A = this chain, B = another copy of it.
């Protein structure tokens, strides 16, 4: 893409000022409208060293209300970041609805600077591109407006600018050895940038190449493009809002016997499996011993682990977590309970709150209910649209792939009990004053939707049992049996890795 760009674009100071006087107030108004309508915006600046990213970002934010945007400077990963999948630091920085997040360099660092300094294998590079594409696609599909700028200058101009910076005592410090090294690699970077632009120029997140030889021209163009894209999107939001709502209403048109022909996973589960108390106690002690040892090794070898627990209400998730964590060093694990999302969480992509909690290398995070809420409760209660939960299978698979690519052990458990057993447990809880708090009206309401849940769970397990992150279905009518199966699965998985 870069070879074709005409770099001789410029504006006189006078032209610049005249045009900015029109543009700046407009851009400012668009920010206010975006906040009001809840549009999240990500603006990415990539480009050559000394191409003026700092200056252009500075000019871009002049008209903006400082309470509504934030600028992130992306440098080398710090230690915390290195211990997570590489997109983790960007997932945690995605803007909530109505805010503008501006990135001075971005996730593209991975496939450019890092690749130049320390080339990765073709396979890893391809997977990094894949991850970047799915990151942007997921955010775009969720409604985030992504605006990507590439600031383009010639090698001569880059040299001129670096020398100028060096001449002045005030700016000399800004030119590092690395800058000159990169300058000497201009020709090597060129095809890499070209490839990057080509691979990631998607309709939902297109690149805008900025001819950055002339600062005035570049500053005006950056703001004009940003304003145009925001305006287009806001107008589209106005139009789409109504029609989408109508579309959702009637979007499930079932035939008469969908029930008969649904794919079943849970039907085949053997609910009679159980275990005596004696056998349980003996095996539990063995497994907990092993687990203690493995957790330690895992920590030393910096292997991160995610344990995801899903299952019917009263299926015994709490008890299983207790047995699982008893032998573990509390500095090395965390239990994350998942409730309904709060307001901040609702204003982000639904995976954002889980990305934040992902374990760093050597740690274990146990999720008591998970991101699978999207395709169960949110699907059934209509908290998200049909398009959204259908898309979620793929999005979840991609997130888990990101994790396992980074080396995370991902273990997912579905605790299966039958309807009679659930009723027995509900009643037991209600009769026990110490356990009454555990049972709410909502639990009974959910129980009323048992069949809908079966359908959703069947589809969920089918579509998200992947090679890298398979589901384990736990026959949980017997709590003893269930706990042992979970611990055994965890122990087996860890043994494979340490």
Decide if A202 touches B394 in the complex (CB within 8 Å): yes
CB distance from A204 to the nearest CB of B (A): 9
Given contacts A203-B390, A206-B390, A221 and B261 within 8 Å (CB-CB): yes
Q: How far does the alpha carbon of A469 sit from the alpha carbon of B22 in the complex, in Å? A: 40
**Which residue of chain B has the shortest Cβ distance to A389 in the bound complex?**
B203
Among the listed B6, B201, B255, which residue makes an inter-chain contact with A231, where contact means beta carbons less than 8 Å apart? B255
Decide if A220 touches B11 in the complex (CB within 8 Å): no
Q: Does A453 contact B (CB under 8 A)?
A: no
Question: How many copies of the shown chain assemble into the complex?
Answer: 2
CB distance from A58 to the nearest CB of B (A): 19
Given contacts A206-B390, A225-B261, A397-B198, A462 and B236 within 8 Å (CB-CB): no
Q: Of residues 222 to 261 in A, which have CB atoms within 8 Å of B's CB atoms? A: 224-225, 227-228, 231-232, 235-236, 239-240, 242-243, 246-247, 250-258, 260-261
Decide if B257 touches A224 in the complex (CB within 8 Å): yes
Please encode chain A, from 1 to 21, with 1 for each CB lying within 8 Å of some chain B CB and 0 for all others.
101111111010000000100
Q: Does A466 contact B (CB under 8 A)?
A: yes
Among the listed B1, B239, B257, which residue makes an inter-chain contact with A247, where contact means beta carbons less than 8 Å apart? B239
Given contacts A6-B268, A202-B394, A235 and B263 within 8 Å (CB-CB): no
Q: How far does the alpha carbon of A465 sit from the alpha carbon of B123 in the complex, in Å? A: 24
Decide if A4 touches B265 in the complex (CB within 8 Å): yes
Decide if A257 touches B4 in the complex (CB within 8 Å): no
Q: Does A497 contact B (CB under 8 A)?
A: no
**Which residue of chain B has the shortest Cβ distance to A386 in the bound complex?**
B232
Q: Does A486 contact B (CB under 8 A)?
A: no
Given contacts A126-B126, A461-B4, A465-B3, A232 and B261 within 8 Å (CB-CB): no
CB distance from A96 to the nearest CB of B (A): 24
Which residues of B sit under 8 angstroms from A239, Cβ to Cβ? Answer: 243, 246-247, 250
A-B residue pairs in contact (CB < 8 Å), sample of 7:
A3-B470, A19-B260, A201-B393, A203-B394, A209-B263, A240-B247, A243-B247
